[in-house]
Structures are given as C-alpha cells and as structure tokens.
Amino acid sequence: MRVAELASAAAVTPDTVRYYSRIGLLQPTRTPGNGYKAFNAADLSRLKFIRQAQELGLTLQEVRDVLEEAQAGASPCPLVRELVTRHLDELRGKIRDLTQLESRLASALDVWSNMPDGVPRGDHVCHLIETWSR
C-alpha cells in the first residue's frame, strides 16, 4: 500500500500518515526503484490502533510509550490503565472547572439583565465586567 491507500483504509489524511512516519510511529519500507513508502496490513493495524488510542485521549508520546512497551514483549495494559486513569482525572477536573464557570456566567447574566448599558469612559471599558465579583 502507498500513503494514499493506507490513509484511505484508515480514514485519515495522507498528511497524517506522512507525519506518523516522520516521527517514527509508522515505519514503512521503501519500494525498490522508485523509493515510494510502502505499507502493509500490520501498518494499517498499527495506524488504527494509534487513532483509537488518541480517541481515548492519549497523546502521541503516550501512544509511542505503549507501542514501545508492547515491542519490548511486556503487556502494555497496565500502562494504558495508568494513562487513561490520569486522563480521566484531568477530564473530571476540567468538567468541575467548567461547571463552576457555567454557574458564574449564568449568575452574571442574571445580574446584568437588569443593568443598563454603559458607554466606555476613560479607563473603563465595560462596567458589567468591571463591577462583577464572584
């Protein structure tokens, strides 16, 4: 398979295939004579794995770490659990922060709905924001 064929089979762009090859996540062979990158079924499987791992929030470096663990003959599953647990904790923190922000925004809009519009004066830009306090 060539770059475009692999990309199509994995539902990614050819640029994605080239990038993953450039950073070493994919290791194509070269076609003798023309030097084109050649990929096989194992490369397609690996590319699909990379995309699935990214859908779970893993970074490309983390994907590389998982792949290296597997290539070393060790089960990468403990590492995957650790990484996904860490990402889940981070996500829960972001959700908590966003929920608090949502509450502050709703509260601000409730207060502001009864306030008149203001015109910028001197150093003051918008009295709604400048007078807002949590």
Cα-based torsion angle of the residue sequence 116, 119, 123, 129 in order, rounded to the nearest 10 degrees: 30
11: domain CATH number?
Answer: 1.10.1660.10
pLDDT beyond 90 at 125: no
**CB of 25 within 8 A of CB of 60?**
yes
> How far from 7 is each of 15, 18, 42, 91, CA to CA, in Å?
8, 9, 14, 30
Question: Looking at the structure, do residues 50 and 61 belong to the same domain, yes or no?
Answer: no
Question: Looking at the structure, do residues 61 and 127 belong to the same domain, yes or no?
Answer: yes
In this predicted structure, what is the pLDDT of residue 9? 97
Looking up tokens 């050649």 gives: 38
| DSSP designation for 116 | P
Domain ends where: 55, 74, 99?
Answer: 55
Give 134's pLDDT tier (boundaries 50, 70, 90).
low
pLDDT beyond 70 at 7: yes
Over residues 70-89, the pLDDT tens digits come to: 999 999 999 999 999 999 99
Question: Looking at the structure, do residues 38 and 71 belong to the same domain, yes or no?
Answer: no
Domain count, the chain: 2
Question: Looking at the structure, do residues 51 and 61 belong to the same domain, yes or no?
Answer: no
Question: Looking at the structure, do residues 77 and 114 belong to the same domain, yes or no?
Answer: yes
> How far from 100 is each of 86, 97, 105, 107, CA to CA, in Å?
21, 5, 9, 11
Looking up tokens 């990158």 gives: 37
